[in-house]
Amino acid sequence: MCNVAEAARSGRTDVRTEQVRRELERLFPGVIAWFGRRTGHWWAMLGDRLLEADSPRQLADEIRAGLAVRPAGSAVIPQAGRADVPSTMGVSSRVARGGYVR
C-alpha cells in the first residue's frame, strides 16, 4: 500500500481523502482538517494554530498533543482515544505555532 502523498500524486485519494478528513473532524469537533494536494501533507486548524503532518494518524496525534496543552480558560474540544483513529491513518509532522513552519 502506498502512502497518502504517493496516492495523491497518482490521483487515487479523492474518496479516501474525503472520508479521512470527515473522520478527523468527527473525532475532533471544532477542528478543520484537509489534505494539501500540492504539499502532499495533512493540515488542521486547532484554534489559532496551524498543524501539519505527513499522515492522518500523525495529524490526529498532533491535534491530541495540541489539545493537551491548551491554555487555561480556552474552549475545550473533546479528545478522542487513539483507538478511535481509523487504521487508514498512518506517517511525520510539524506543528506551526502562530504560523506556518516548514
The reported pLDDT for the residue numbered 6 is: 53
- 24 neighbors 73 (Cβ within 8 angstroms): no
The reported pLDDT for the residue numbered 43 is: 98
Give the whole-number percent of the chain exceeding pLDDT 70: 55
Q: Which pLDDT tens digit goes with each residue over 38-68?
A: 999 999 999 999 999 999 999 999 999 999 8
Sequence-separated (6 or more) residues with CB below 8 Å from residue 69: none
Q: Which pLDDT tens digit goes with each residue over 64-84?
A: 999 987 655 555 444 444 444
Instruction: Establish how many alpha carbons lie within 13 A of residue 46's alpha carbon, considering only the half-sphere containing its beta carbon.
Output: 31
Please classify residue 11 by burial: count the beta carbons closer than 10 Å to its beta carbon, then call 0-12 exposed, 13-18 middle and 19+ buried.
exposed
Characterize the bridge pairing of strands 49-53 and 93-96: antiparallel
Q: In 25-55, which positions are buried (b, 16+ CB within 10 angstroms) versus exposed (e)? A: eebbeebebbbeeeebbbbbebeebbbbbbb
Q: Which pLDDT tens digit goes with each residue over 3-19?
A: 445 554 555 557 899 99
d(CA 7, CA 10): 5
Quick one: average pLDDT of 71-98? 46
